[in-house]
Amino acid sequence: MDISSKTPKIIVFDLDRTLWPFQVDKDTTNPFRRTEKNTVEDASGKLVSTFPQVFDILYDLISRGFVLGVASRIEDIMGAYQLLELFNLNSFFTYKEIYPTSKILHFKELHRKTGFPYETMVFFDDDERNIKAVQQLGVQTFQVSKDGIDKKFVLQSLNLDSSH
Ligand SMILES: [Mg+2]
């Protein structure tokens, strides 16, 4: 579907390998904490961070009036919430669906809570299986490359100019 034919109302992001370059369940152990150097580390002292432009991307989308959401199958739900808070991303997201099962269920829940038609929802995820699953609902999907998300990709996907 041509993105311009349906104005997005909510933009939803996966977490692992989409907003940050690791997998919470496989690569890290909670609790996470902020260090004296203002970095974030897991329980074993491993440093973790988002992809570089993530805060800027989300700030930009919020300032353009979009509603933002998270759809993640992370099993360490507490860890995921800790990271959103420590990365200062939590307040950007009005809706957070974080639990195992299927992205189909995440989007059905987002649809129920927001009342937005699936065609007005946009989803960014690195995993082709999730992309294909959610596409079946009519959601507009964009696959994030292995290099992670960047602002140019997000703005181009949404047909937004960068001069905002
Ligand atoms: Mg992912």
pLDDT in tens, the chain (164 residues): 455 456 899 999 999 999 999 999 999 999 999 999 999 999 999 999 999 999 999 999 999 999 999 999 999 999 999 999 999 999 999 999 999 999 999 999 999 999 999 999 999 999 999 999 999 999 999 999 999 999 999 999 999 988 66
User: What does residue 96 show for φ and ψ, rounded to 5 degrees?
Assistant: -135, 110
Instruction: Supply the pLDDT for residue 7.
Output: 82
Ligand 1 geometric centre to CA of 126 (Å) = 5
Ligand 1 geometric centre to CA of 10 (Å) = 19
Ligand 1 geometric centre to CA of 64 (Å) = 25
Instruction: Supply the pLDDT for residue 162.
Output: 84
Which residues are annotated as catalytic?
A: 14, 16
If DSSP codes are grouped into helix, strand and coil, which group holds residue 41? strand
Angle at 73 between CA 22 and CA 142, to 5 degrees: 75
Neighbours of ion ligand 1 (CB under 5 A): 14, 16-18, 126-127
CB proximity list for 105: less than 8 A, separation 6 or greater: 97
Q: Are 24 and 76 in contact (CB under 8 A)?
A: yes
Ligand 1 geometric centre to CA of 20 (Å) = 9
User: What does residue 152 show for φ and ψ, rounded to 5 degrees?
Assistant: -60, -45
Domains of the chain, residue spans: 3-157
Q: Which fold has domain 3-157?
A: Rossmann fold (3.40.50)
Ligand 1 geometric centre to CA of 132 (Å) = 13
Please state the pTM of the whole predicted model: 0.94
